[in-house]
Structure formats: structure tokens, C-alpha cells
């Protein structure tokens, strides 16, 4: 337990993601860490020092010029008397100050005075994150030896906008903190993972295909989450409109057959997470030419044949990965179907979700899943697909280590 007994200085700066820092404090303390919070003026507009103090069970530092605090610990000691500094959320403004050595409040001053490792969890609007100024500051901070976790892709709290900018989930920040305190080792460093994602396109003729509504969001998020924990990830993706996740090797395929070949080609691996919505059937012999409407003739019959089951193949493979995870998209009797699938596919875990149209899960950004293992069923709350990915990466890490 790398966090047990560790002293973490948590700097909370001013962003809506500050509400997640409350949960972060709980998660860190659950693991035996002692959390000393520092809040910027902006942070106090989003969460109160009272709430932060209650959760951390200690004093909350807010003011550089507080006579009591200075007499008690002093900002220099505050900056050094810890094992790790975590900045969550790290705003564009605070990062800009840090990159330029500004020190005009308690947070920026102690960040300039510290000699401890620093972990940043940025959170901001995607336009701010991709702005040239922020790019420069992030590059500078990385060069200065600071570590980043996130940001993740997804919808912004303010709504209407999506992209890179959401703060990493508390458990991802915990994992990154553990990695840093563990001598910089990421918990999945040296591990390899294969993830499938997206739909498959099964050709009918050169211009038509059979597909489904999978967006690839969940699979891509899982690939990214595993990579963040240090795994070397091969993502085999069907046709999607998503950007390739950072730090991941992406193999793009269209048909289930190609997906299977790509997955087998990526073996051996420690982890396989098969998230793709692979078409169960393909057209037995796709037409070489575009099928024409023939006057007087009815529609052409489509003769279907079964596709290979990639998860089942991997789950029973001679070089079966140590952890094999499948997904089960169901519209009825989710739990029972999941249990049957666990057996049939040779998986360690089936993540089952109800994809009835009214849930909005398929193609959407949120997910509500049940974890089905030989040990039983665990229902997770309604979460964003990024959150599901972060948690799942944590589950896989625990299972593996």
C-alpha cells in the first residue's frame, strides 16, 4: 500500500472539477494517506473550506499572509513537509503561474518553494487545454519533471462541449499518486493489453455494409485508462469517429475477421478487454460489384453466416491473457445473460449493461454497468464512460497484481 502513512499536500485550484476533489480526499484517506489541503481563492468559489476541512479532518490552508498559519507551519514547511503534492484540479491559470515561476498566493508560492514530487490533474475547457499557451506551459512543466494525470475526454460539466479537459477521476489520480510514491513505477508498467472497440462493418457489396450503433467511446476510454496506468496497449478498433487515445497503438479494422486477426497478432498479452460490438453475422459472400435494383425483381436475399467470436477465441486460447474481460450488451435479463457469457466465453469478468434504446447507453457518453464474476454481481452507479474505464482499469490492476 504505497499511500499508507504518506503525507499528501492537496492543492485545489478554482474549477468546477473541485467538487471531485472532495471524493479524492476520501479515496486518499481510505488508503491510509494523510491529506493536507490548500485552496486557492478560486477553489473556494466552488467548494467551501468547511467541506474540505471536514473530509480531510484537519486545517485547510488558504492564505499566504495568515499570521497563525505562518507561525504554526509556514508556507515553506507546508511545501516540504509532505511526500507528494497533488494539484487537483489544476487550472490553466495555476499551470501558467507554475510554468513561469509566479508566486502571488499560497498555492503558487509553495509550488515554487517545494522540492517534493508534484502530480497535476488538469481540468479546463477543451479550448483552453488545446490553446497554444497551455500547450507551452504543459510542455514546460513536464520538462521541469512534473507528472500529469489526465485530462480525460468527455463532456464538460457546463454542458454542450466535449473534448479533452475533464479532470481525471479520483481513482485514476489515486493510482497515479501511488505510481509516483512507488518510485515512479506505474502499476501496469511492463504489462501489455489488447482492447477491442467500436462496431464492425460487414460488407454487403463495395458500398453497403451491416453495422451497429457502437460509438467506440467505452473501448477507447478503457484503452486510454490502461495506458495511463503504464500498460502498453494495442487498441483494435472498428470504424469510429473518435481520436486515437494518447500513448496507445491503434490498429484500424473494418470486419470481424480482420479484428480477430489483429487481436491474435497482438498476443501474447497480460490483459484482454473485448469491448467491440462485433457483428454476430456477416454476409456469406459479399458481392464484388454494387448490387443493382433489377426491374421486376424483388430485393436480393442476404445469406448470412456467423462471425468468429473474438472474446471466446481469446478466452480459450493457449496463450490466454491473465485477465480476460468481456462486455455484454443486452436488452433483457442482463444479469443471467452475463453469467452465461462468463462461462461460455472463458472470461474473468463480464461487464454487463442494458442497451435498451431508452437507456441512451449505446452511442452515448454514460454507462450503467454490472460486474459479473465467478464471485458474484456488483452493480456500479450511473457513471460516465471515462469513469467506468478508470474504475475498470483499477479493477484489472488489482486482479493482476
Interacting residue ranges for ligand C5P, rule: CB under 6 A: 196, 256, 274-276, 278, 307-311, 326-328, 341
Reply yes or no: is the peptide bond before residue 137 cis, omega within 30 of 0. Answer: no
Task: Choose between 71 and 332: whose C-beta lies nearer to ligand C5P.
Answer: 332
- Least distance in Å: CB of 257 to ligand C5P? 10
Q: Which is nearer to ligand C5P, 332 or 401 (CB)?
A: 332
Q: Kindly state the smallest distance separating residue 316's Cβ from ligand C5P, in Å.
A: 12
CB atoms within 10 A of CB 139: 11
Output 101 or 265, the one with its CB closest to ligand C5P: 265
- In whole angstroms, the minimum distance from the beta carbon of 144 to ligand C5P comes to 42
Q: Which is nearer to ligand C5P, 70 or 280 (CB)?
A: 280
Smallest distance, Å, CB 334 to ligand C5P? 11
Query: In a 10 Å sphere around its CB, with 0-12 CB exposed, 13-18 middle and 19+ buried, how is residue 29 labelled?
Result: middle
Burial class (CB in 10 A: 0-12, 13-18, 19+), 10: buried
Burial profile 289-324: b = 16 or more Cβ within 10 angstroms, e = fewer: eeeeeeeeeeeeeeeeeebbbbbbbbbebeebbebb
Of 80 and 312, which CB lies nearer to ligand C5P in the complex structure?
312
CB of 218 to ligand C5P, least distance (A): 10
Q: Please, how many CA atoms are within 13 Å of residue 307, restricted to the half-sphere of its CB?
A: 24
Catalytically annotated residue among 137, 152, 212, 307: 212
Nearest approach, Cβ of residue 363 and ligand C5P (Å): 16
Beta carbons of 51 and 200 less than 8 angstroms apart: no
CA 32 remoteness from chain centre:
24
Indicate the residue among 88 and 274 with the shorter CB distance to ligand C5P: 274
Q: Is 125 a catalytic residue?
A: no
CB of 232 to ligand C5P, least distance (A): 21
CB 372 within 8 A of CB 335: yes
Own/partner contacts of 46-51, CB < 8 Å, gap of 24 or more, are 46/14, 46/15, 46/16, 46/18, 46/19, 47/12, 47/18, 47/19, 47/21, 47/22, 51/22
Nearest approach, Cβ of residue 273 and ligand C5P (Å) = 8
Q: What are phi and psi of 372, to 5 degrees?
A: -115, 120
Instruction: Select 85 or 274, whichever has its Cβ closest to ligand C5P.
Output: 274
Catalytic residue numbers read 212
Amino acid at each position: 500500500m504505497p499511500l499508507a502513512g504518506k503525507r499528501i499536500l492537496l492543492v485545489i485550484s478554482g474549477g468546477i472539477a473541485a467538487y471531485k476533489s472532495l471524493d479524492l480526499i476520501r479515496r486518499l484517506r481510505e488508503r491510509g494517506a494523510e491529506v493536507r489541503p490548500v485552496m486557492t481563492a478560486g477553489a473556494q468559489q466552488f467548494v467551501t473550506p468547511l467541506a474540505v476541512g471536514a473530509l480531510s479532518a484537519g486545517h485547510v490552508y488558504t492564505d499566504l499572509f495568515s499570521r497563525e498559519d505562518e507561525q504554526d507551519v509556514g508556507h515553506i514547511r507546508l511545501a516540504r513537509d509532505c511526500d507528494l503534492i497533488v494539484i487537483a484540479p489544476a487550472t490553466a491559470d495555476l499551470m501558467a503561474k507554475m510554468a513561469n515561476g509566479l508566486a502571488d498566493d499560497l498555492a503558487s508560492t509553495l509550488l515554487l518553494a517545494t522540492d517534493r514530487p508534484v502530480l497535476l490533474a488538469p481540468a479546463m475547457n477543451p479550448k483552453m487545454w488545446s490553446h497554444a499557451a497551455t500547450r507551452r506551459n504543459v510542455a514546460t512543466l513536464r520538462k521541469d519533471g512534473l507528472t500529469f494525470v489526465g485530462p480525460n475526454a468527455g463532456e464538460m460539466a457546463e454542458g454542450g462541449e466535449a473534448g479533452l479537459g475533464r479532470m481525471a477521476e479520483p481513482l485514476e489520480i489515486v493510482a497515479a499518486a501511488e505510481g509516483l510514491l512507488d518510485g515512479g513505477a506505474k502499476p501496469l508498467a511492463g504489462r501489455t493489453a489488447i482492447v477491442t472497440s467500436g462496431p464492425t462493418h460487414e460488407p454487403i457489396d463495395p458500398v453497403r455494409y451491416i453495422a451497429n450503433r457502437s460509438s467506440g467511446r467505452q473501448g477507447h476510454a478503457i484503452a486510454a485508462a490502461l495506458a495511463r496506468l503504464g500498460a502498453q496497449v494495442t487498441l483494435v478498433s472498428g470504424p469510429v469517429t473518435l481520436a486515437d487515445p494518447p500513448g496507445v497503438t491503434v490498429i484500424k479494422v473494418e470486419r470481424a475477421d480482420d479484428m480477430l486477426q489483429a487481436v491474435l497478432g497482438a498476443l501474447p498479452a497480460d490483459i484482454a478487454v473485448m469491448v467491440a460490438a462485433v457483428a454476430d453475422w456477416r454476409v456469406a459472400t459479399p458481392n464484388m460489384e454494387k448490387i443493382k435494383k433489377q426491374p421486376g425483381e424483388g430485393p436480393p436475399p442476404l445469406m448470412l453466416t456467423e462471425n468468429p467470436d473474438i472474446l471466446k477465441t481469446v478466452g480459450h486460447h493457449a496463450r490466454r491473457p491473465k485477465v480476460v474481460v468481456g462486455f455484454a450488451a443486452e436488452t433483457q435479463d442482463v444479469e443471467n445473460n452475463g453469467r452465461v457469457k462468463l462461462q461460455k466465453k472463458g472470461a474473468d469478468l463480464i461487464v454487463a449493461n442494458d442497451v435498451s434504446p431508452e437507456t441512451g447507453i449505446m452511442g452515448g457518453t454514460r454507462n450503467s454497468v454490472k460486474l459479473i464474476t465467478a464471485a458474484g454481481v456488483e452493480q456500479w452507479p450511473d457513471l460516465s464512460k471515462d469513469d467506468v474505464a478508470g474504475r475498470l482499469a483499477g479493477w484489472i490492476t488489482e486482479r493482476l497484481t
